[in-house]
Chain A
Amino acid sequence: MTVDDKKKLKNEIKELIIDKLKITHVTADEVPDDAPLFGQDNPLGLDSIDAIEIILALQQNYNVRIADQNLARVILESVNSIADFLEKEMVNEKQ
């Protein structure tokens, strides 16, 4: 994946989260790539119920199943970690 493709993917992820969770107080540009998605260090400030909605949205949009909740915590740590996970899954899919 090129740098531009990865940037595009991260933006897609931010838009997806904002759209699915119906967030109105923040735009995709305001969401940092590397800040924790959960807790107070991110303008989104998501909770564990939001997490399952993101898991379902990723499954629906990218055909990836995050079956293990502990792994989900690691994958959903930040926009960067979600993008890294999807990139890996896309590579696996091609192989």
Chain B
Amino acid sequence: MSKINDFEHKMGAHCETGTLTSLFNYAGLEITEPMIFGIANGIFFGYLETDTFPFPTFIVRSRPGQIRKNITKRLGIKLFEQKYKSVEKGEAALDELINKNIPTAAQVDFFYMDYMPEWQRVHINVHFIIIAGEKDDKYIVSDSYYPRIAELSRESMRKARWAGGHMPPKGFLFYPVNVPQKIDLKKPIIKGIKTACRNMIGLPVPFIGVKGIYKFADKVKEWPKIARDTEHLSHEIMKINILLEDQGTGGAGFRFMYASFLQQASEILSNSDLADMSKRMMKNGDEWRNISYFAAKIGKNRDLGTDKLEELSDLIRKRGDEEKAFFTELKKIIK
């Protein structure tokens, strides 16, 4: 076995959309990562305060796997998808796919991707990579977070595919079995935008969409009451930076990627209003990035007085105001 020769490795902004882009492109469909993100209405906000999480947290995109489900449904793509309880069967299935020259995506624990620098590796069970071959008993891996094709030992792959913990991968594999070569993207784009607007401003759920941003703005001021001590609070405040910017979130809570989607959508739909909205979303992304930086700075310096948390809360609230106005306007444009 060896590398699947005609497979082209690409970096991506996010592992799920990056993996799907590479697989679809390999299957002959020309589509960009932001287009997949936008059609699948990946943009989102949710403030989560449940027993599942040891401390309140937030999400800036739809839940893992949802982008895959939405994009395949809206573009009429059929995937092979399979989880494997048995390590033996799961490894054999992957080896067989490599033998058949089929680049295959796997869900893995990011921590075991030992080609990444050690300081970047954390346990995240919903990382996606593509296995694009095997050489000298090592898997050839295309990871959208890594600039080059990488190699991973069978042992590391085994640990990564059958890691325990929250949302375990359970050996999950998927690859496209039927990809239309030419798709009119107009309807899927409109559907994706409408659903994104509904999720951001139309759901009667107090912690989802813009309501979730406002809740985050209110609640962050109360975090000192629920944190164990200053160290814990600073850790949680710095995590705002990690969730918005790091761990492959596409930058500024995915807002930059959504801006790129709107730019491409404006060309396909010949709608210049969407190009203006793209520029506006780019500026919104810059402001989310400023929140990320502000949170990182006050967290790192343990500068967590009431005044600073009020300032952080105000910055977040302004994003709520902007996104409320933005998605209201976007809904009118796409009607």
Contact = CB atoms under 8 A, between A and B. Distances in A.
Interface of A: 38-39, 48-49, 52-53, 55-56, 59, 65-74
Contacts of B250: 67-69
A67 B120 contact: no
A69 B251 contact: yes
A52 B288 CA distance: 12
Nearest to A36: B117
A54 to B, nearest CB: 11
Nearest to B146: A70
Which 4 pairs show the lowest CB-CB distances between chains A and B? A67-B256, A68-B13, A49-B296, A67-B251
B251 A68 contact: yes
A56 B289 contact: yes
B245 A52 contact: yes
B238 interface: yes
Interface of B: 11-13, 117, 119-120, 144-145, 147, 238, 241-242, 245-246, 248-252, 256-257, 259-260, 282, 285-286, 289-290, 292-293, 296-297, 300
A70 to B, nearest CB: 5
Given A52-B292, A74-B147, A67 B285 contact: yes
Contacts, number: 65
Nearest to A70: B145
Given A49-B297, A67-B282, A70-B12, 19 more contacts: A38-B117, A39-B117, A49-B300, A52-B245, A52-B293, A66-B251, A67-B256, A67-B257, A67-B285, A68-B11, A68-B13, A68-B256, A69-B245, A69-B250, A69-B251, A70-B144, A70-B145, A70-B248, A74-B11
A68 B10 CA distance: 13
A18 to B, nearest CB: 17
B120 A71 contact: no
A70 B117 contact: no
Contact of A70 (B11, B241, B285, B290): B11
A73 B13 CA distance: 11
A67 B281 CA distance: 12
A45 to B, nearest CB: 11
A52 B238 contact: no
Nearest to A52: B293
A49 B238 contact: yes
